[in-house]
Amino acid sequence: MMADDFWLTRIRDNRVRGLLAELAEAISECDDPDLLHLLKGSLKLGLANQAALREDELRHEHHQRKLSAMSRRSRRLG
């Protein structure tokens, strides 16, 4: 991993980090500015939105489980 790849070290999942490292390598070897421009937009809009939607979904599920557990506890106590 190169010194300027600090953003990769934040990712603890080996599968995701490997994919990002491979993508970073492909980008650094690309010599087509039009392709890089399209890729930039796809990464910003596509993958960022997909990650944000999945994060929201998981946080909502966690919140729902927490509420459900609290509801069961209050029924037992009530």
pLDDT in tens, 13-46: 889 888 888 998 999 999 999 999 999 988 888 8
Mean pLDDT, the chain, whole residue set: 84
Query: How many degrees, rounded to 5, is the angle at CA 9 between CA 40 and CA 13?
Result: 90
**Residue 5 contacts residue 21 (beta carbons within 8 Å):** yes
Share of the chain above pLDDT 70, in %: 86
Calpha distance 21→8 (Å, rounded)? 7
In the block, residue with structure tokens 């609290």: 70
DSSP tag of 43: I
